[in-house]
Amino acid sequence: MDNIMAATCRLSEDDRNNSILNPELTSRPSNNQDESRNSGANAESKNGEKKELTEAAAYDNLGYSFPTWRKWQILCVMFCIQISMNLNASLYANGVQAISQKHNVSEQVARIPQLTFLCAYAFGCELWAPWSEELGRWPTQQLSLLLVNIWQFPCAFAPNFGTYIVVRFLGGLSTAGGSVTLGVIADMWEPDDQEYAVAFLVLSSVGGSVVGAVVGGFVEVRQPLIWIFWVQLIAGGAVQIMHFFLVPETRATIILDRVAKKRRKAGPGAINIWGPHEIYGYALSPRDIWAVWKRPFKMLLTEPIVMWLSLLSGFSDSLIFTFLQGFQPIYKQWGFGTIQISLAFIPLLIGYFIAYLSFLPSIHMFRQRRRKYGSESVSPEARLWWLLYVIPCLPIGLFGFAWTSLGPPQVHWIAPMIFTVVIGIANYSIYQSSIDYTVAAYGAYAASATAGNDFARDFLAGIAAMYSTPMFENIGDTHSYEYASTILACVSILVTVPIYYFYRHGPAIRERSPFAKEMMELTKKRQSSHIAGDEKQIGQDHQVENVCESSV
């Protein structure tokens, strides 16, 4: 599932602030330490002691300066990690029947571990965020993958049903999700250059759960229950090895610490050059962590844009887990077996890929406009432009799927699959656009805003795992499948309509938002002091560079 961005999920809020005011500023600590850190830095500067190594002075060492091929190599590994994490969320569904029989519980009860995994996954992204920002992306991702892989063993050898509930909960909580995966994008691309990378990684976020559904049918039929968890372990182990050898640390503050240490060792001329963490320490106090954790939930409950986009994105994502339960009775009408039902998820993947390709021209168009006329020439609402045309695919696809689920002889099985492609187009487009718009609208607070989006996706997906089968089986005496999907289609109309309102009235809504308003004020401040700020920063960076060069 993803917890993807967060379009750049969980970058520290002050890093965002600095990138807005001046992209060359060194990443700052959490807000409650700014005053003490600034005063300390000033004192040290006056005494001729420690000087902080800035991003501008070591830009060639940062992820922004990686060769393009290197960036996309790293991104492909993160793509595979995202597939693996989301496969863990969906593959369990193919073991429900076997778990039910093995431990003598109903199939509905056997789905509870899927609920606990997804709901814990929703909190996992928040749990890991502060650690990835302060300690680095690489060790945080490695620890997360290691824990997730370890939890596969108790599930594989579970002596009782309660083990699944507890261990799956721990597995979800151990999943770092987008707090690391998409944070890597922010470490390698500037804000106006991230869209192609984000679009690519969103494809893995929505596609991973479907890959699990496709693979799960073959595992369920041809292997015993234990292989449901061995497949997850094999995938998790493979991506952990890939990450260990192919992905370097990308977090700027960690790289600056390392560069500063190397320069001090290189010669006496740089003995007073220090990295940010070496000067300020790590912002991992309970107060700092609590500030990071609570802001996404506050924005989710108080910001209309965040609330509605999260609801829309969460509903869209929950459809995948609704289909994990709903496809079985629907396609059994045509005599589909377990493997054929798993292959019925391929149309969703086709829809995702079509939607991904459809976004590339609009990304290119607005990117060229920003480069020609400046970032301010494209409003945040422009990120919703293409979604206006494709979002009707969601209710259209659901209504079409509903009334082509009648079974033979009225309808051929290819008909609901065609509408599944349409749903897939909408599903990808909603996640891509909602993340992209949130990042543009909230700037310094985008990490918290997108984290709320990801929380809603995983939490609603977990709930969907429980209500889907009863809904498809118990609504009405006849046409229960059709009525269930029709209800989903009606709900989709309610959650998609606000997109048009936000596109038209988004600026007015953001003016009333304390978070977005602060973002706009920071932007105006940057515009008014751009020249003076650049001259001052260049002078400061030149002093540090001279000291660094003297050590060579």
For the stretch 303-347, pLDDT in tens is: 999 999 999 999 999 999 999 999 999 999 999 999 999 999 999
Is residue 16 predicted with pLDDT exceeding 60?
no
For the stretch 218-274, pLDDT in tens is: 999 999 999 999 999 999 999 999 999 999 999 999 999 999 999 888 877 667 889
Q: From the CB of residue 528, how many other CB atoms can be counted at a distance below 10 Å?
A: 10
Is residue 446 predicted with pLDDT exceeding 90?
no
User: In this prediction, what percent of the chain has a pLDDT beyond 90?
Assistant: 63
Is residue 450 predicted with pLDDT exceeding 70?
yes
How far does the chain reach from its first CA to its final CA, in angstroms? 47
| pTM for the whole structure | 0.85
For the stretch 81-128, pLDDT in tens is: 999 999 999 999 999 999 999 999 999 999 999 999 999 999 988 788
Quick one: which H or E segment has residue 136? none
For residues 415-436, average pLDDT: 96
Weakest mean pLDDT among 37-41, 317-321, 383-387, 467-471: 37-41
Helix (H, G, I), strand (E, B) or coil at 273: strand
The DSSP letter of residue 26 is P
Output phi, psi for 52, to 5 deg.
-80, 130
Q: What is the pLDDT of residue 531?
A: 42
For residues 452-481, average pLDDT: 90
For the stretch 353-376, pLDDT in tens is: 999 999 999 999 999 999 888 888
Q: What is the pLDDT of residue 28?
A: 36
Is residue 27 predicted with pLDDT exceeding 60?
no
Sorted by where each begins, the domain ranges of the chain are 58-258+296-541
At 13, the amino acid letter reads E
For residues 441-469, average pLDDT: 86
User: In this prediction, what percent of the chain has a pLDDT beyond 70?
Assistant: 84
For the stretch 159-200, pLDDT in tens is: 999 999 999 999 999 998 877 887 899 899 988 888 999 999
Q: What is the pLDDT of residue 471?
A: 93
Q: What is the pLDDT of residue 519?
A: 67
The chain-wide mean pLDDT, for the chain, equals: 85
For residues 443-460, average pLDDT: 82
Query: CB under 8 Å to 367, separation ≥6 — which residues?
Result: 192, 193, 195
Is residue 549 predicted with pLDDT exceeding 50?
no
Taking each helix axis from N to C end, the angle separating 514-528 and 530-549, rounded to the nearest 10 degrees, works out to: 70
Query: CB under 8 Å to 189, separation ≥6 — which residues?
Result: 64, 71, 197
Q: What is the pLDDT of residue 6?
A: 41
Tokens of 184: 């890597």
Is residue 38 predicted with pLDDT exceeding 70?
no
Candidate ranges 46-60, 150-164, 188-202, 468-482; pick with highest mean pLDDT = 150-164
For the stretch 101-114, pLDDT in tens is: 999 999 999 999 99
The DSSP letter of residue 34 is H
CA dist 15 and 548 (Å) reads: 24
For residues 290-299, average pLDDT: 84
Q: What is the pLDDT of residue 462?
A: 94
Weakest mean pLDDT among 9-23, 207-221, 500-514: 9-23
CATH code of the region 58-258+296-541: 1.20.1250.20
Q: What is the pLDDT of residue 117?
A: 97
CA dist 551 and 254 (Å) reads: 21
Q: What is the pLDDT of residue 48?
A: 53
Is residue 551 predicted with pLDDT exceeding 60?
no
Residue 522 — pLDDT band, cuts 50, 70, 90? low
Is residue 424 predicted with pLDDT exceeding 50?
yes
Q: Which residues of 472-510 are buried (b: 16+ CB within 10 A; e: fewer)?
A: beebeeeebbbebbbebbeebeebbebbeebbeebeebb
Residue 530 — pLDDT band, cuts 50, 70, 90? very low
Residue 505 — pLDDT band, cuts 50, 70, 90? very high
Evaluate the CA torsion angle 316, 317, 322, 324 in order and state its sign: positive
Top pLDDT among 76 and 512 is at 76
Residue 298 — pLDDT band, cuts 50, 70, 90? confident
Top pLDDT among 447 and 147 is at 147
